[in-house]
Amino acid sequence: MFSQKQHQEEAQQVGSQFVRYYYNLFDTDRQQLQNLYTPESLLYWHGEVCRGSTQISSGITNLPFNKIVHVITTDDHQLTPQNYILSMVIGQLQMDSNRPVNFHETFLLKKESQSWMLINQAFRFTS
C-alpha cells in the first residue's frame, strides 16, 4: 500500500505534467482541448459559467485572440479525499501583442478509464 506521502507525490507528478500539457495545447491548438473535458465539466472563466465539453471548447476556441502564450510562475498539486487531483496555477499570459497579464487558475482532475479528465476549472485575470 502506498503511504499518504507517496500518493501526494504521485499527485504532484501527474498534476505538474497535466498543467504543462494543458497550457502547451492551449497555446498551440486550443481546439484540441475539447478532449480533456466531459459532458459534466464546469469552467468558470473570469466569472462566466460554461458547462460541458462542447460549450467549454467552443468558448475557449472563440476567445478573441490568435496567438496566446502561457507562462507558469508556480503550480501546486494535491490529492483530494476522492482521489481527484487539485491543481492551482499562478502565471502570466500574453494574447497577441498585448502586454502580459497575470492569471490564477484552478483545476480538478478525475480519472475516467485510464485518462485524467478536467471536471472543474476556474480561471481569473488578476492584473
Partner 1 sequence: MVDQPVWEQIGSSFVTHYYQMFDSDRSRLGAIYTDASCLTWEGQQFQGKLDIVKKLTSLPFTKIAHSITAQDHQPTPDCCILSMVVGQLKADNDPVMGFHQTFILKNVNDSWVCTNDMFRLALHNFG
- Where on the chain is the footprint of partner 1 (CB under 8 A)? 4-5, 8, 40, 42, 44, 47, 73-74, 76, 78-82, 84, 86, 88, 90-92, 102, 104, 106, 108, 110, 119-120, 122, 124, 126
The three three-digit cell numbers of residue 103, written as one number: 492569471
* Cα–Cα nearest to 33, from 42, 24, 65: 24
SS3 content of the chain, % helix, strand, coil (to 5): 35, 45, 20
CB contact at 8 A, 109 and 116 = yes
Between 57 and 110, whose beta carbon lies closer to partner 1?
110
- In whole angstroms, how close is the CB of 29 to partner 1 at the nearest point? 26
- In whole angstroms, how close is the CB of 76 to partner 1 at the nearest point? 5
Between 67 and 124, whose beta carbon lies closer to partner 1?
124
